[in-house]
Each structure stands twice: as structure tokens, then as C-alpha cells.
Amino acid sequence: MYLDLVEEGYEDIKFVGVNGYAYIDNDYHCMICDTPDECSNCTEERILPWVQDVPAIIIEEYDNQLDCEQNNLSWGVGEQIQWNLLDENECIESGYSWFHGQCIEFIYGCLEDVDIWGNWDITLRDLVIVNKQGYEVSRLNLTGNNPDPNSTCGENYQTIKDLIIGAR
């Protein structure tokens, strides 16, 4: 759908997937289809970006573990930065972690718990459409609304596409 929208001239529409924290330990390769030869649900690599929901934000006020914990907060990984241009050796030499063929830098800090899926009342496979100002304008669950253009004679696909275009 994204490629169709771009081909039709809608270059101001952006997509991103958010993997829920409850699924952080699950293998994500078939979700994002970066290994299509190993997945039964896709035939080519998906181009859409995705992020991992991590239920915390870094509190800048406390820059060391002792101060953080004395204020009843927790110290841990708050952000992950992916270094796409580094190979495995360069990654490890830079002090980063090599994980599932990707170079990841873990940023530690003082964390305050947040619940993104809870705050947005998200359930698995929800599609939330926001406008340019970041306000939610529509929501539907893709489990009952298969967006495949070959399913439901393309009705769901067109409905979702119209919702996205209308949010602009």
C-alpha cells in the first residue's frame, strides 16, 4: 500500500510499525520479513520502518545510577541505536552489540516507566492513523480488516487507503 501511495504522488504519507513490549523476546524476522526465504507469510523484504516499544523514557535529570536509584527510579537500557553501516567486526570493536545481524548500541540511563500500548489503548494488529499534527483520526484492527488487495475484492484495502489519504 505504501508503494502504491508513493506511486500515486502521496509523498507526505509515512508508515511505521511498533512492536509491542510484550513481544520483545519474540523473533521479529517474519513480522518485518527481512528473511523472506525463511518466512511463510511473505515473499519479499518489507520496506517499512519499525521500532520496538520499550516501556520507559530516560530522565535526563539523573545521569548516574546512584542518583537515579535514590530517587526510586530504575537504571537500565532506555534507547537503542542501530548502526546500519557497521559490519560485525566494526560493531564489536566500537563497543556495540551484534544482534540478529544488526549492530545495536544500548544507551543506559535513569528510566521512568511508561506504557505506550496502554496509553494509546492498543491491541495486537491495530492500525492507528494520525494526521500531520499527531492527532489520531482513525483506528481499526487489521485482524478483522485484512488489508491484502486480493482479499475481500479489495474493499478493505481501498477503505484503509482512503482513511490514510483522508487524514492528510
20 in any annotated domain: no
Residues contacting residue 142 through CB under 8 Å, at least 6 positions apart: 125, 126, 127
The model's pLDDT over 102-161, given as tens digits with 9 standing for 90+, comes to 888 888 888 887 777 777 888 888 888 888 888 889 999 988 888 888 989 999 999 999
Nearest-angstrom CA–CA distance, 81 and 75 = 18
78 in any annotated domain: yes
168 in any annotated domain: no
36 in any annotated domain: no
80 in any annotated domain: yes
pLDDT score of 164: 93
User: Number of C-alpha atoms within 13 angstroms, CB side, residue 99?
Assistant: 13
> Is the pLDDT confidence value at 99 over 80?
no
Domain assignment of residue 74, given as a range: 56-113
Total tally of structural domains belonging to the chain: 1
152 in any annotated domain: no
46 in any annotated domain: no
81 in any annotated domain: yes
Name the nearest CA neighbour of 36 among 49, 47, 45, 48.
Answer: 45
Helix spans in 18-154 (H)? 29-32, 65-70, 88-93, 116-120
Residues contacting residue 43 through CB under 8 Å, at least 6 positions apart: 36
> Is the pLDDT confidence value at 55 over 80?
no
